[in-house]
Structure 1
Amino acid sequence: MPQRHLDRLLAPRSVAVFGASDKPARVGTTVWRNLLAAGFEGELAPVNPRLRQLGEHPCYASAAALPFVPDLAVLCTPPDTIAPLVAQLAARGTRAAVIVTAGLTPQQKKAALDAARPHALRLLGPNCIGLLSPHSRLNASFTQACALPGELALVSQSGALLTALLDWANAESIGFSHLVSLGEHADVDVADLLDHLAADRHTRAILLYLESITAPRKFMSAARAAARAKPVIVVKAGRAPAGMRAAASHTGALAGEDLVFDAALRRAGLLRVDTIKELFIAAETLARFRDNASRELMVMTNGGGAGVMVADAASAMGVPLARPGAALMVQLNALLPPNWSHGNPVDIIGDAPAGRYVDTLQTLLQAPEAGALLFVQAPTAIVSSEAVARACAPLLAAHPGRVLSCWLGGATAAAARRVFDEAGIAGYETPEEAVRAFALMQAYRDNQALLRETPTSAAPQPPDLAAARRLVADALATGREWLDEVDAKALLAAFRIPVAPTVRCAATPQAAAEAARAISGPVVLKVVSPDLLHKSDAGGVRLNLQGEAAVAAAAADMLTQLQAQRPEARIEGFAVQPMLRRPHAQELIVGAHIDPLFGPVLMFGQGGVAVEVVGDRAVALPPLNRTLARELVGRTRVARLLAGYRGRPPVRMNALCDTLVAVGQMLADIPELAELDINPLLADAEGVVALDARVRLSAAAPAGGARFAIRPYPAELVRTLTWQGQLLQLRPIRPEDEALHREFLQACSPQDLRLRFFNAPHALTHDELARLTQIDYEREMAFIAVDEQAPGRPQTLGVARLVRDADNEDAEFALLVRSDQQRRGLGRLLMQALMAHAATRGTQCLVGHVRRDNAPMLHLLTALGFHRAAADDNQADDTADVVRMVRAVTAAATGR
């Protein structure tokens, strides 16, 4: 259902409570009392046919009897009344309802949704606690307490947890912009709320408690958009699997569901925490420490033991401590007693008066190596903690986002904590908690950097799709689910993944010897059997066989052993390949499988026969590029070995990354690909080579780009055409286009840039360019016209982009043509491509804001069927300088 009308849900001007009551221990009674207690200032009405009056408020018998149309209806009536009530309210014009009622059958839920859908009435619930919006003094819930106003929005899939969090937050004086209990989220879900809260002026950060996701692509698009606007912090229940899922491949065994969920959050730029306490710790840190870019921590304390605790926590959490430079050491030696710690942590000794704290802080804050400072103080009898706090707070308040603090102790430290809190300094109860907060900040920044990363341009060879699809079709036509090693390697080779050449032969010693004859040097012999997926475990692999006699003897012995130990296994032949000698190569595993929620998933890690025992792996959602592939590799322990050590040169990382990218492409192009293992994949300074591979196919086509949680690059929209006598490529923009796009914008005149961006032109930052080139193809599109034959390198001549709203009702467009290419029809060409794309995606209306002095653009849009929004048009927002141009989109919208 559409995303609109969530403002009626979270900031209504009027509320009616159906099932409001005066009977104790009733949900309707509690909801009504909470609304009154919160002091909601809009219109209120209780609805209950049994009552004529409820306190000071007249009570109404039905929706039809209400004297006003409520923005929000709260339904606390029996399950069989919900759908009829929704129908009545929708017909009257109500656009949001909270279904507190539990116990609706699937049929009753469907009936309520069917009644709401034609009128776009939004339904929260059923079986939810409700919602609170403290800034509107709204408590439409049956929580035990009201919430304090603040800047944190909390969305929870557990109503019980929301009430517990509210109780804890009130005790800690933590305020909220909104608290929402989703219940069974039949309509309004996490993604809807992320879209709304990302633009909500009262919300600074969004906190999520999740148990499940039902629409992964919708969630990923909303999460990525929200994460670009403000911090989104997630705690998810269910890290530990209920049981080990049986899996035929290594990838299926290693890539657990929680790992995939973690990879999805990382890809979206969200921060995941482990506990409810960390949820608020992270929110506090991001609120007061978000702009600190330091990756090292400088520690100042008045106790050696506290410093040791910080150092231990930092080591355990991978947080490096800054090393004081020579100049700083000279300053500290002159300032501190001779028995100070002479290092980091900086122990200023327990007898320190308030002045020593201030002088040391001043010195550290001026040192370039002390970008992030952790202040830890233990109470002493020399000077009170409050006196230290009052002395230090003005100095630290002048350096916002530089300092984390930890006041050790209970009641003794309470006043000091309050002083620092009022100064805007992030505070924590223990040194370990403070270090954990810093580590969370690092993880958040890394995820944000990944969200905005634009990779370097690479031009890998396109795959041989025809050969790959032929191979898959032949296997499925003969009823084969698992490809044997030879066919699996042929599939990899079709996607330009280097493989060890392999010959298939009959299951006889003589055939194996003849196959080895054609290979110079030692060989590897492997059994080919659809029943022996892990050949090494069954004794089906022999290495380093020299000469035909050795191969024949090994083949005979292998057959005897398999007959004795695995008599049921079908032996279809042998595979013979050269024994590659690459002494510095590292054995890796690259895999793919289908996650039941997020669809196709990639896995990478340390390979070999002990792959499950080692358990060194990381997962990622496709599609990948080299940048994302390198990040995936970097999350494993084996990455440190790949960088080179003890005389071993580093592996050729681009070759490894290209293999990961190719597997992601394979998942997009071969929908029948259900599971893949490349193990081992040898990697060294020369490149990579796949020694063994397993592939499982499924006629159900569980893969393919349509199943990706993140819509892949729409290569099908790339086309080449002749324009004004020159060859142009018209295609969707790619993340790799950042440098090309910078040159394009630099070639546009300041006046054209002002007309496009509505402000004075300036040098675009990397983040701004990344936002223009790294788009979400599910919700956005940017077509660029590229002259591929321009001297030197390709050049972008123009771009047309649109951003759809979350409902896919309206899409806002923008157009920019390079200044020297204007008035030649390129703008019309780009707009026609944009309009046609909007039609294929089902968008209802195109909307653009054009400066009144941009006569050429207004003329083009008028010729393409756009009109100026009239004063009574919905959302008409003309100003003195800007005109709103709109056009309905039809199935054949091309503008011709």
Structure 2
Amino acid sequence: MDRHQRAESLRRILAPHSIAVVGASERNFYGRTVLENLARHRYDGVVIPVNPRAATVRGLRCYPSLSEAPPADLVVVAVARDHFVDIVAEAASVGAAGLVALTSGLAETQEPQWMEAEAKARAIADEAGMALIGPNGLGVISRAHGAYAFGAPVPWEIEHGRTSIVMESGGLVCGSLAALSAYGAGLAHAASIGNGHAIGVSEWIEALADSAEVDQIGLMLEATPRWADFSAAVRAARERGKTIYALKTGKSEAGARAAATHTGALAGDYATASGLLAQLGIQQVASMGGLVTALALHERFGSPAGSNLAVFAASGGAVGIIADAAADREIELRPYAPATREAITGLAGILDPANPLDLGGQALSKPDEFATAVEHVLRDPGVGAAVYVPSLGLPSGSLPDHQRLLELVASAATRAGKPVVVTQLTYTAVTSEVVGGYRHTGNVLACPSLEHSLDGLGPWLRTHPGAREPEEHRPSAGAAGRNGPAASVVAPDEHRVKTTLATHGIPVPRAVTYAPGETPPTLPFEAVVLKGMSPGVTHKSQAGLVALGVRSVERLREAEAAMSEAAAGRGIPLPALLLEELAPPGRDVFLSISEQPTGTIVTLGDGGTDVEERGNVGFLGWPATPAEVGRFVGQRVRGVDPARRNELIRLLDQLAAAYAAEGYTMLECNPVRIHDRGVCVLDAVAIPGR
């Protein structure tokens, strides 16, 4: 099956009429738990236990095999790995639409026997047109039908909503469900995809994109999906109005691998993923708490009416902590509109109507005035939501005055029609009580921590059309640098690469080559750059093999001698020298195209030999739409004349075409010179396909 067929097979099991549980038992934890979940959440279809050693399970007739059982739309497999392939084959033979594999110990072990077993099961499912979810996952949930085909306890009552979550980890799916329940947010579907080799994130997004039940999708990505499938699925979902939030793990590993090129050192998985998520309009979140908070905000309150976040606190210290935490997350706390500032000045002792707002103790003395101020702020046209931090944490009945103040805030939020997230700086004993108490209360979302509140509010507010886009992740100097010696790279020399690029219409400097000791009697150009061509040396400047601004034969001979000495000192050969016309002055940028685990990636940023240390680059998945390319280049190369920016975009298209035509796996241009007359590739490294 291709991606579209797999997505279609998923759609068939989102509303299963019957579910068979292979391995159903009173003692088998996973088989028993699936049956308990189906009963607890009142599954409206037929449950078919399958176990050759039992006559009944939980009062239901048990069948010895799938072949002897009634037909099932969905088969849940909770058996040991030794029987896995046989069960998949049997499910395919009886025409099951899908199979959820709770079985573990297969490809994730990296043992050839079990990798082969999983691949065989995948091939069987593909041939039969059967969706294979897992193995090494915990299952799927379709809330509308009570179809909790899930192998971990889900004791929480979750309302039917328009949110779907897709994650590799079943444990994290469970944690997300618990939080959504506590927040009073609903659920449409949830999936733990496990190894995800058969049905992955992209297929799930494509299937959910067509669902009228789904408004938003929450992802937790342990690895970045292949770009071609992922980008197509996400674009389809976005075109259908779906909002997508994602948490990507692996930030600490960004770029931390040895590489012989700048591109290899820069394109760490997290850094690349961050750029690709932004390219596709996915809102990236920084924590699991932030992910479920963003989903709860969207589920309960829809899209934000503004992009500004208002902050209230009863302590100057708290205001400072909140402001710092917001700045760390690139959440702007912008001033209120003049009319709002005028309206709240004097209420509850407010003298400086700033954002964030330090109320001191006046809110408790004049609670009604404070509530009026909250309502005025929420009615500010730029404000999308507010954060309220009570001075003593989330208040319960033991703090009646503080509790009353929170009730007034809730009433003000309901009247204004915008949400208030009430939270705290430290955990208190009544946290769960207060969070649960506001799960169905008007426009208040009670959140256990400030950090999770802001981690969710930032991405949610950025879905507003007027929101400022956050800065892309920049790999730190330590993370982006090389670990140990650079790997050997077999690549054509610079002159050959640029000659090849020129055949594709790409502008490069005029150049000639010659052997050391065969110095030309005159310079071929008014001013030249001399470069030493040594096989395997990709960064010539660092090896002392570049001399700039040579304007005489005498200076040329001096540069040749210095290069010969540098090469001898490093023990590297110097078979040829390259003389290039000196390019006009201008701005240098770094531009590369490379094959990464997720697909073809474009990297663009400030050029120079220290590009890794500065890390000022962004990443673009390729192919990309013209709008995505224009936005990407505009963000990464600011302050450039529009005509030159358009030439850079055209150069990127030309380089991508050359990259594909020549079969390269990496093409790095550093620098590309942007000057008054156009753009030009001054240096290039290419690695051919192997």
More divergent stretch after superposition (585-594 vs 176-185) = 176-185
In structure 1, what residue type is equivalent to 2:201? V
Aligned partner of 1:332 in structure 2 is: 344
Shift of 1:440: 1.8
In structure 2, what residue type is equivalent to 1:666? A
After superposition, the C-alpha distances for 1:591-628 in whole angstroms (9 at most, x for unaligned) are 12211331x21111122122222222111112356643
Provide the TM-score with structure 2 as the length reference.
Answer: 0.83
Aligned partner of 1:601 in structure 2 is: 601
Aligned partner of 2:655 in structure 1 is: 663
More divergent stretch after superposition (589-598 vs 494-503) = 494-503
Question: 2-side partners of 1:130 and 1:382: how far apart?
Answer: 43
Question: 2-side partners of 1:360 and 1:6: how far apart?
Answer: 50
**Residues 118 and 606 from structure 1, CA distance in 2 versus in 1: closer, same or farther, beyond 3 angstroms?**
closer
Structure 1 residue 504 corresponds to structure 2 residue 495? no
Secondary structure, counterpart of 1:212 in structure 2: coil
Aligned partner of 1:279 in structure 2 is: 291
Aligned partner of 1:815 in structure 2 is: none
1:560 pairs with 556, 565, 568, which one?
Answer: 565
Question: 1-side partners of 2:507 and 2:305: how far apart?
Answer: 40
Kept after mapping to 1: 8 A contact 2:102/2:138: yes
More divergent stretch after superposition (217-226 vs 433-442) = 433-442
Kept after mapping to 2: 8 A contact 1:681/1:692: yes
Aligned partner of 1:540 in structure 2 is: 545
Structure 1 residue 653 corresponds to structure 2 residue 645? yes
Shift of 1:683: 2.8
Structure 1 residue 136 corresponds to structure 2 residue 148? no
In structure 2, what residue type is equivalent to 1:681? V
Shift of 1:651: 9.2
1:145-156 mapped onto 2 (5 Å cutoff): 145-150=154-159, 151=161, 152-156=163-167
Shift of 1:327: 4.5
Aligned partner of 1:217 in structure 2 is: 228
Aligned partner of 1:878 in structure 2 is: none
In structure 1, what residue type is equivalent to 2:406? A
Aligned partner of 2:443 in structure 1 is: 424
Question: 2-side partners of 1:215 and 1:25: how far apart?
Answer: 36
Secondary structure, counterpart of 1:187 in structure 2: coil
Shift of 1:5: 4.0
**Residues 416 and 226 from structure 1, CA distance in 2 versus in 1: closer, same or farther, beyond 3 angstroms?**
closer
Secondary structure, counterpart of 1:503 in structure 2: strand
After superposition, the C-alpha distances for 1:427-472 in whole angstroms (9 at most, x for unaligned) are 444445444434323555589999xxxxxxxxxxxxxxxxxxxxxx
Kept after mapping to 2: 8 A contact 1:509/1:553: no
Aligned residues: 649
Question: 2-side partners of 1:509 and 1:154: how far apart?
Answer: 67
Aligned partner of 1:523 in structure 2 is: 528
**Residues 86 and 549 from structure 1, CA distance in 2 versus in 1: closer, same or farther, beyond 3 angstroms?**
closer
Question: 1-side partners of 2:619 and 2:466: how far apart?
Answer: 15
Q: Which has the larger radius of gyration?
A: 1
1:265 pairs with 262, 272, 277, which one?
Answer: 277
Aligned partner of 1:395 in structure 2 is: 412
Kept after mapping to 2: 8 A contact 1:249/1:676: no
CA RMSD across the alignment: 3.6
Shift of 1:215: 4.9
**Residues 625 and 683 from structure 1, CA distance in 2 versus in 1: closer, same or farther, beyond 3 angstroms?**
farther
Question: 1-side partners of 2:614 and 2:387: how far apart?
Answer: 36
Structure 1 residue 441 corresponds to structure 2 residue 445? no
Aligned partner of 1:753 in structure 2 is: none
Provide the TM-score with structure 1 as the length reference.
Answer: 0.65
Secondary structure, counterpart of 2:345 in structure 1: helix
Secondary structure, counterpart of 2:251 in structure 1: coil
Question: 1-side partners of 2:683 and 2:287: how far apart?
Answer: 41
Kept after mapping to 2: 8 A contact 1:288/1:425: no
Shift of 1:676: 2.0
| Identity across the alignment (%) | 26
Question: 1-side partners of 2:435 and 2:24: how far apart?
Answer: 46
Kept after mapping to 1: 8 A contact 2:292/2:456: no
Q: Which has the higher contact order (CA 8 A, sep 6+)?
A: 2
**Residues 289 and 29 from structure 1, CA distance in 2 versus in 1: closer, same or farther, beyond 3 angstroms?**
closer
1:73 pairs with 56, 75, 80, which one?
Answer: 75
After superposition, the C-alpha distances for 1:624-678 in whole angstroms (9 at most, x for unaligned) are 5664344334555xx5xx428xxxx89943333333333233334x241222222
Kept after mapping to 2: 8 A contact 1:270/1:444: no
Kept after mapping to 2: 8 A contact 1:87/1:112: yes
In structure 2, what residue type is equivalent to 1:46? P
Question: 1-side partners of 2:205 and 2:189: how far apart?
Answer: 12
Aligned partner of 2:614 in structure 1 is: 614
Secondary structure, counterpart of 2:208 in structure 1: helix
2:134 pairs with 118, 125, 131, which one?
Answer: 125
Q: Which runs of 5+ in 2 are unaligned?
A: 107-113, 470-488
2:64 pairs with 37, 61, 73, which one?
Answer: 61
After superposition, the C-alpha distances for 1:128-168 in whole angstroms (9 at most, x for unaligned) are 32233343223323313334333332222123433444455
Shift of 1:280: 0.7
Structure 1 residue 98 corresponds to structure 2 residue 100? yes
Secondary structure, counterpart of 2:362 in structure 1: coil
1:468-479 mapped onto 2 (5 Å cutoff): none
Question: 1-side partners of 2:665 and 2:369: how far apart?
Answer: 65
Question: 2-side partners of 1:185 and 1:307: how far apart?
Answer: 44
More divergent stretch after superposition (268-277 vs 429-438) = 429-438
Structure 1 residue 643 corresponds to structure 2 residue 656? no
1:247-262 mapped onto 2 (5 Å cutoff): 247-262=259-274
More divergent stretch after superposition (277-286 vs 397-406) = 397-406
Aligned partner of 2:242 in structure 1 is: 230
Question: 1-side partners of 2:413 and 2:507: how far apart?
Answer: 57
1:282-431 mapped onto 2 (5 Å cutoff): 282-288=294-300, 291-292=303-304, 294-335=306-347, 337=349, 340-352=351-363, 353-368=366-381, 370=383, 372-379=385-392, 384-401=401-418, 403-406=420-423, 410=428, 415=434, 418-419=437-438, 422-431=441-450
Structure 1 residue 573 corresponds to structure 2 residue 579? no
Question: 2-side partners of 1:283 and 1:625: how far apart?
Answer: 28
Deviating runs (4+, > 6 A) in structure 1? Answer: 380-383, 446-450
In structure 2, what residue type is equivalent to 1:559? S
Shift of 1:208: 2.1
**Residues 272 and 321 from structure 1, CA distance in 2 versus in 1: closer, same or farther, beyond 3 angstroms?**
closer
**Residues 412 and 341 from structure 1, CA distance in 2 versus in 1: closer, same or farther, beyond 3 angstroms?**
farther
Question: 1-side partners of 2:378 and 2:170: how far apart?
Answer: 45
Question: 1-side partners of 2:136 and 2:379: how far apart?
Answer: 55
Kept after mapping to 2: 8 A contact 1:303/1:378: yes
Question: 2-side partners of 1:141 and 1:365: how far apart?
Answer: 41
Question: 1-side partners of 2:343 and 2:177: how far apart?
Answer: 47
Kept after mapping to 1: 8 A contact 2:20/2:74: yes
Question: 1-side partners of 2:195 and 2:541: how far apart?
Answer: 48
Shift of 1:415: 4.7
Q: Which runs of 5+ in 1 are unaligned?
A: 451-479, 701-896
Question: 2-side partners of 1:626 and 1:388: how far apart?
Answer: 51
Aligned partner of 1:198 in structure 2 is: 209
Secondary structure, counterpart of 1:240 in structure 2: helix
After superposition, the C-alpha distances for 1:495-537 in whole angstroms (9 at most, x for unaligned) are 44443332223322623x53x2x322x4322112223221111
**Residues 429 and 567 from structure 1, CA distance in 2 versus in 1: closer, same or farther, beyond 3 angstroms?**
same
1:692 pairs with 676, 683, 686, which one?
Answer: 683
More divergent stretch after superposition (248-257 vs 123-132) = 123-132
Structure 1 residue 485 corresponds to structure 2 residue 489? no
1:680 pairs with 671, 676, 679, which one?
Answer: 671
**Residues 335 and 13 from structure 1, CA distance in 2 versus in 1: closer, same or farther, beyond 3 angstroms?**
same
**Residues 49 and 333 from structure 1, CA distance in 2 versus in 1: closer, same or farther, beyond 3 angstroms?**
closer
**Residues 143 and 266 from structure 1, CA distance in 2 versus in 1: closer, same or farther, beyond 3 angstroms?**
same
Shift of 1:118: 4.9
Kept after mapping to 2: 8 A contact 1:224/1:268: yes
Secondary structure, counterpart of 1:499 in structure 2: coil
Question: 2-side partners of 1:88 and 1:560: how far apart?
Answer: 72
Aligned partner of 1:586 in structure 2 is: 587
Secondary structure, counterpart of 1:643 in structure 2: coil
Question: 1-side partners of 2:325 and 2:668: how far apart?
Answer: 38
Kept after mapping to 1: 8 A contact 2:250/2:269: no
Question: 1-side partners of 2:91 and 2:607: how far apart?
Answer: 60
Shift of 1:29: 3.5
1:873-888 mapped onto 2 (5 Å cutoff): none
Aligned partner of 1:13 in structure 2 is: 17
Question: 2-side partners of 1:145 and 1:404: how far apart?
Answer: 26
